[in-house]
Amino acid sequence: MDSPDDRCFKVNVDGSARGSLGQAGIRDVLRDHKGKVLCIFSANIGIQDAVTAEIQALARACDLCASKPELEGKNIVFVSYSKVVVSRINSNGFGNLKHHQLIYDIRSHLNRIG
């Protein structure tokens, strides 16, 4: 696994759902520049689709990073393997209406984090 350079921290985010709409969970893993795991967060988020789960995982990762004073002013690399979620975060739109607030919150966090 690649670790970020020594000026960075890396957060891997993952959300998944059983079937197209089913029991869903999220997991975030925060690592330092050496790849050392600093924090793992996981949660059951009830009945959701996979895209919603991935967006919730990213939102939780942003909250996690914002709550850690040691990350203030650091470069943080967020890694998601969901092309749909990455596209929605990087576009001007918000996609599905149910994702609007989460995407807005994620973008706000990312702008503050850098």
- 55 within domain boundaries: yes
Give the pLDDT of residue 92. Answer: 83
* pLDDT attached to residue 114: 63
Q: Are 107 and 40 in contact (CB under 8 A)?
A: no
pLDDT digits (tens, 9 = 90+) for 4-33: 567 789 999 999 999 999 999 999 999 998
Q: Could you tell me the two tokens for 50?
A: 């996979």
Residue 3 has pLDDT above 80, yes or no: no
Are 17 and 2 in contact by the 8 Å Cβ rule? The answer is no
- Enclosing domain of residue 15: 8-113
Contact (Cβ atoms closer than 8 angstroms) between residue 52 and residue 25 = no
Hey, which residues does 17 pair with through a beta bridge?
24
The number of beta carbons lying within 10 Å of the beta carbon of residue 86 is 15
Tell me the per-residue pLDDT of 48-101, one tens digit each, with 9 for 90 and over: 999 999 999 999 999 999 888 888 888 999 999 999 999 999 988 777 888 999
Q: Both tokens of residue 52?
A: 């919603």
Look at the chain and report how many structural domains it folds into.
1
Residue 1 lies in a domain: no
100 part of a folded domain: yes
